[in-house]
Structure 1
Amino acid sequence: NRAYLRPAPERRRFLRRFWFPAVLLLAIAAGGLTGIVLAYSLNYSRAAEEVKSLATYRPSVVTRVYADDGQTVIGSFALERRIPLKFDEIPPNVQKSILAVEDARFFEHSGIDPIRIIGAVWKNVTTGSREGGSTLTQQLAKRLF
């Protein structure tokens, strides 16, 4: 007699009643998770393409007009006065001062500084003033894209 192995009728009804909704809910959750992963990967691949375009980025520079001798500058024209420099050409004190003002933990984070964001939110809420929490990397991305 194996009556003790059979589930009780109430338990069978409970399983039958909630089996389909549970499987349906699980399928919806799996589909949602799959959608999120796909959306993230598509967005990431687009962002990677945009980052690749930085390799060929050339900012506008000053146009200089030279005299016949090729040495004397008659004039220069530009919408913005940009002079491209390599990082090593910027004086160390200027580098340090920019980092101190704009992004003190520049070398400690990967582009997003959660500590700075939380600090900016806290200051905005407690003092009513507005303070930004963006890093130099985020500011560059905003300007380029």
Structure 2
Amino acid sequence: MTYIVAYIASLIVFGALDAIWLTTMTSRIYRPVLGDILLSDLRIAPALAFYLLYPVGLVVFAAMPALRSGSAGTALAHGALFGLIAYATYDLTNYATLRSWTLQITLIDLAYGTAVAGLTALAAYQAARWVAG
């Protein structure tokens, strides 16, 4: 049950924070630089796959180890590291291969991914801890 609660908490928190980030930052940060390579309409299937899979990683690699150790700091640190690695996979590959992808976008996105994953893992840990008693 704790895994399910942690997963649902991750879905909600990550989904909400990412929705806020994307709706407020796409036009400010991404669209001015990336312009024509951005789709006008989101491809729903791959986006949905990401939003269903990413929280699994946060739960397995951050929230549950934190629950076993009883440490909120573990959730935050492991979540942040997971976010940094996951976002680096995307951002550094794009920076290495796409002409229009800039260092500025890379650094901003890495910082965001690290922070949002750490906070999401912390929320998942707290929710699982609450259920576990």
TM-score scaled by length of structure 2: 0.28
Q: Which structure has more RCO (C-alpha within 8 Å, separation ≥ 6)?
A: 2
More strand by share: 1
From the two aligned structures, give the one with the greater helix fraction. 2
Rg (Cα) greater in structure: 1
Q: State TM-score, norm by structure 1.
A: 0.26
